[in-house]
Structure 1
Amino acid sequence: MTKEAIPKFKSEDEEREFWSTHDATKFIDLSQAQPARFPELKPSLKIISIRLPESLLDSIKVIAHKKDVPYQSLMKMLLAEAVERELRTKS
């Protein structure tokens, strides 16, 4: 089966509009597709500022030191666990 040629686009907006109204299977031979791996891809991060009582931050740093992890990494882990737990209890 012959596939249609993908047109040349003048901008990302033009390309985005095109793909929102066209079926990619008419242009791409999916039988030739191969799995892709992106081992270096890191999730998007957003820098925030948070005010914590000094005693809480000191406690977090002590725990992080005992676990031999950076305290900010520990904070992310603890937040992720709490959010996951909260989402489970709300379901």
Structure 2
Amino acid sequence: MSKRRKTAPDFKTEAEERAFWESHDASEYVDWGVAESVRLPNLKPSTKTISLRLPAALLERIKIEANKRDIPYQSLIKAWLAEDVDRHG
């Protein structure tokens, strides 16, 4: 016999739903044993804008490297940071 699940309330806003799930155990509402995996190929990871001060000469060198690789310099900086964190993290 399966466990009886609670019914989640109807939410008026996304913020209200987020607050609810932050304070409630989803296992009381969802039977994860019957859940199916989904792929979301077009979902982009969330990003946060930051301000980063670089010496002008360093930024120019980065832009030259990015131009050689035909990618935006911000993308090159992100790739380099990710590689370094993976290597040292």
Q: Classify the secondary structure of the residue corresponding to 2:79.
A: helix
Match of 1:84 in 2: 86
* 1:49 positional shift: 0.3
1:41-61, Cα deviation, whole Å (9 max, x unpaired): 111111000100011000000
Kept in 2, the 8 Å contact 1:64–1:70? The answer is yes
Match of 1:8 in 2: 9
Identity, % of aligned pairs? Answer: 41
Structure 1 distance, partners of 2:66, 2:21, is 47
Q: Classify the secondary structure of the residue corresponding to 2:71.
A: coil
* 1:64 positional shift: 0.3
Kept in 2, the 8 Å contact 1:9–1:15? The answer is no
Question: Which consecutive unaligned segments of at least 5 residues does structure 2 have?
Answer: none
* 1:82 positional shift: 1.2
Q: Which of structures 1 and 2 has the bigger CA Rg?
A: 1
Change in 2 beyond 3 A, CA 1:34/1:46: same
After TM superposition, list the pairs within 5 Å mapping 1:23-42 onto structure 2.
Answer: 24=27, 28-30=30-32, 32-42=34-44
1:7-29, Cα deviation, whole Å (9 max, x unpaired): 53675345654x42xx73x6545
What is the identity, as a one-letter code, of the residue corresponding to 2:68? Answer: K
2:60 to 58, 61, 68: 58
What is the identity, as a one-letter code, of the residue corresponding to 2:70? Answer: D
State how many pairs are aligned: 83
Kept in 1, the 8 Å contact 2:8–2:29? The answer is no
